[in-house]
């Protein structure tokens, strides 16, 4: 039977010591220790398979474990009876869009069901329900069946059902995966409000490194172990260095030179980012410039690295050079010219019964271009790809891929394209080489060319050391590179990638992108990909932002950001303490777009000087200390949120 401990106000709500979880012979979590304080939003950050879900389920009391100690509210969780003692004080939302909900029930019926399950007094239910529905903006959809909600609305309904009994601790497993940026921002606003009003403690997991700055404290997990734990500042201190960003020509030669010297280098569109370990800003700039001597270098700057850079540096330190890196092998002896149109969509429409999934979508992708379709689950991205590849007939509109009409040349299109689907589609009980041979034969590669083709994609994807390994035993990042190699084995002119790096760790994601950049820049392959990762979209040459089946913006990443600054203003990054009263003061003063990012606040402002003076006046007038206020470059998340809210405002005004 679990032992109860004396709980004081400053005692951790959750304490985990040397936690171990095994599934048969596989160790999922090994030796994890952490403490979560009352009122904290604590983050578990890592890719699929890092051990986040296992740890969260054990803390929630729904999963047994093999070693270590877990305490929740001072109660040792070592049996079902012990878990029962604290379950009324916590709420748990599992991973997956709406997996804890009932599809046939309406929004309100789902809430009522969970309220009854949690024995919420009927006298209190109505007031709680109205408040949570208003907070999540679901009040207009209370009669809609759950199965007809968007991904973001499902997650917000799941959160309402988790909160209906007013738990002191909420455990949320990847609640923002697959939802649109507005719903992600809504989710964080709800958590902020709960923290401010009721002192709720939250344990939240995510695979998105751009969300890491929102947590007061966090643990970076990989392979079931903690790489680093603490505040964002403490984790950055564990991987000291400088981030150098620049534009250099020719880009591919610059990348090759820098990768020979530095472990952490990536191309982001036309820019190159280099993490220089242990380097001060000016020394790091000089070191990078020396490596690029003789090349045209411009716009070189050095700054403090982000948490993703720190995570990658820590991962590389742990792994060493065990994993084979991709090579820049050629796939085609005669790549196509880079100025031709590879993909053209003209007014594509797709209806499913009475639901319009894609509505008048048009765009063009040229050879050698990386084109991104950005949007949440349900935005219509995958449906567009299925129409263009001939898998799904369009209800309306037209298109061409690799010179073939998508409506009449299905087989011709299939022979000229490579396709990596959203779901992992390889044969997990076969070896890497067996999968490659199978896909080569499916794509019609002749026997005399078979070994040469396989050899090229193995070298390109860095699969030489694992050719005889069973696919199901490989890490997610290597499996995704194999899926890419299988799609490239016949030398396609056009490549379609549907969320190819979902669940892959940051190092695996960067290595995957090394291959894509080479394919586009050197092989002149046209690449159309979909992604949830806002930071990943920065790698694209061109973007189409999709929402509710429509393209709401279409331009280069930089042009989209420049348009945001012109129309909505600059992003101001505010450091103030205490941060929650500061956020409340700004909201009360009419700055409705103020949002919490970890221990900082972001707002949009046209006149930076006037807004800075006003914000200082508001906060200092409330006795709140202002540490700093500085403009920063907007992100694509800022762009997407602004565009969606702008569209909603226009619809309300009609």
Which residues have CB under 8 Å from 380's CB, separation 6+?
Answer: 350, 357, 358, 359, 361, 546, 548, 549, 550
Asked whether the beta carbons of 487 and 418 are under 8 A apart, the reply is: yes
For the domain made up of 240-304, the CATH class stated in words is alpha beta
| Domain at 559-653, CATH from 3.40.50, 3.30.70, 1.10.3470, 3.30.2450 | 3.30.70
Model confidence at 413, pLDDT cuts 50, 70, 90, reads confident
CATH code of the domain made up of 341-555: 3.40.50.300
Tokens for 488, please give them: 């490239």
Whether residue 507 is predicted with pLDDT greater than 90 in this model: the reply is no
Higher pLDDT, 314 or 649: 314
Tokens for 654, please give them: 């009609």
Model confidence at 185, pLDDT cuts 50, 70, 90, reads confident
Rounded average pLDDT over 174-196: 79
- State the SS3 of 331-378: CCCCCCCCCCEEEEEEEEEEEECCEEEEEEEEEEEECCCEEEEECCCC
> Residue 259 belongs to what H/E stretch?
helix 251-261
CA distance 351 to 400: 20
pTM of the model: 0.83
CATH code of the domain made up of 14-232: 3.40.50.300
Model confidence at 355, pLDDT cuts 50, 70, 90, reads confident
Q: What percent of the chain has pLDDT over 70?
A: 93
**Lowest pLDDT segment from 120-124, 231-235, 311-315, 646-650:** 646-650
Helix axes 181-198, 579-588, angle to 10 degrees: 110
| Four-CA torsion 214, 219, 220, 225, nearest 10 degrees | -160
CA distance 36 to 200: 12
Whether residue 463 is predicted with pLDDT greater than 60 in this model: the reply is yes
Q: Please give the pLDDT value at position 563.
A: 94
For the chain, helix, strand, coil in percent to 5 are 40, 30, 30
Ranges of each domain in the chain = 14-232, 240-304, 341-555, 559-653
Angle CA 544–545–546, to nearest 5: 110
Whether 14-232 shares its CATH topology with 559-653 is answered no
């Amino acid at each position: 039977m679990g032992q109860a401990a004396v709980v004081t106000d400053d005692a951790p709500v959750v304490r985990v010591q040397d936690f171990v979880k095994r599934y048969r012979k596989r160790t999922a979590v090994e030796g994890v220790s952490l403490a979560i304080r009352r009122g904290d939003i604590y983050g578990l950050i890592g890719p699929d398979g890092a051990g986040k879900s296992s740890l969260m389920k054990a803390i929630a009391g729904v999963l047994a474990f093999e070693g270590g100690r877990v305490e929740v509210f001072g109660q040792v969780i070592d049996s079902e009876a012990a878990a029962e003692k604290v379950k009324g004080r916590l709420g748990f939302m599992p991973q997956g869009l709406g997996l804890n909900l009932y599809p046939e029930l309406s929004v309100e019926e789902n809430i009522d069901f969970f309220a009854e399950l949690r024995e919420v007094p009927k006298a209190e239910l109505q007031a709680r329900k109205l408040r949570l529905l208003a907070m999540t903006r679901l009040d207009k959809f209370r009669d809609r069946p759950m199965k007809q909600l968007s991904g973001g609305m499902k997650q917000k309904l799941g959160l309402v059902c988790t909160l209906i009994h007013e738990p002191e601790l909420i455990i949320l497993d990847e609640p923002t995966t697959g939802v649109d940026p507005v719903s992600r921002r809504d989710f964080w606003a709800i958590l902020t409000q709960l923290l401010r009003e009721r002192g709720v403690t939250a344990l939240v997991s995510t695979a998105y490194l751009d969300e890491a700055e929102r947590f007061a404290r966090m643990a970076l997990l990989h392979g079931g172990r903690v790489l680093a734990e603490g505040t964002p500042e403490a984790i950055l201190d564990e991987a000291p260095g400088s981030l150098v960003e620049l534009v250099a020509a020719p880009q591919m030669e610059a990348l090759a030179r820098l990768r020979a010297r530095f472990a952490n280098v990536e191309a982001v569109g036309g820019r190159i980012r280099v993490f220089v370990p242990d380097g001060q800003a000016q020394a790091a700039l000089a070191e990078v410039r020396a490596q690029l001597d003789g090349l045209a270098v411009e716009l070189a700057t050095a700054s403090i690295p982000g948490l993703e850079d720190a995570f990658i540096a820590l991962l590389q330190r742990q792994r060493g050079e065990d994993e084979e890196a991709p090579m820049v092998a050629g796939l085609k002896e005669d790549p196509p010219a880079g100025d031709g149109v590879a993909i053209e969509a003209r007014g594509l429409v797709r209806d499913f019964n009475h639901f319009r999934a894609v509505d008048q979508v048009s765009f063009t992708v040229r050879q050698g271009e990386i084109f991104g379709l950005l949007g949440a689950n349900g935005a219509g991205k995958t449906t567009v790809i299925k129409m263009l590849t001939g898998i799904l007939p369009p209800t309306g509109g037209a298109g061409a891929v690799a010179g073939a009409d998508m409506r009449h040349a299905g087989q011709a299109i299939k022979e000229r394209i490579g396709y990596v689907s959203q779901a992992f589609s390889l044969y997990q009980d076969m070896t890497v080489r067996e999968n490659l041979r199978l896909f080569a034969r499916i794509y019609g590669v002749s026997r005399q060319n078979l070994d040469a083709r396989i050899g090229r994609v193995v070298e390109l994807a860095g699969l030489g050391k694992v050719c005889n390994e069973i696919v199901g035993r490989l890490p997610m990042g290597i499996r995704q590179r194999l899926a890419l190699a299988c799609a490239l084995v016949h030398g396609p002119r056009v490549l379609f990638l549907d969320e190819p790096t979902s669940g892959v760790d940051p190092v695996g994601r960067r290595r995957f992108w090394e291959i894509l950049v080479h394919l586009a820049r050197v092989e002149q392959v046209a690449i159309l990909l979909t992604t949830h990762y806002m930071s990943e979209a920065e790698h694209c040459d061109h973007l189409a932002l999709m929402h509710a089946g429509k393209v709401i913006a279409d331009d280069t990443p930089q042009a989209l950001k420049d348009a945001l600054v012109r129309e909505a203003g600059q992003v101001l990054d505010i450091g103030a303490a205490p941060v929650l009263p500061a956020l409340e003061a700004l909201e009360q003063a009419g700055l409705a777009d103020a949002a919490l990012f970890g221990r900082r606040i972001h707002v949009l402002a046209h006149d930076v000087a006037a807004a800075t003076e006003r914000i200082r006046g508001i906060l200092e007038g409330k006795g709140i200390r202002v540490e700093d206020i500085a403009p920063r470059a907007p992100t694509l998340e800022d762009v997407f949120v602004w565009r969606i809210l702008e569209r909603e405002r226009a619809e309300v005004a009609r």
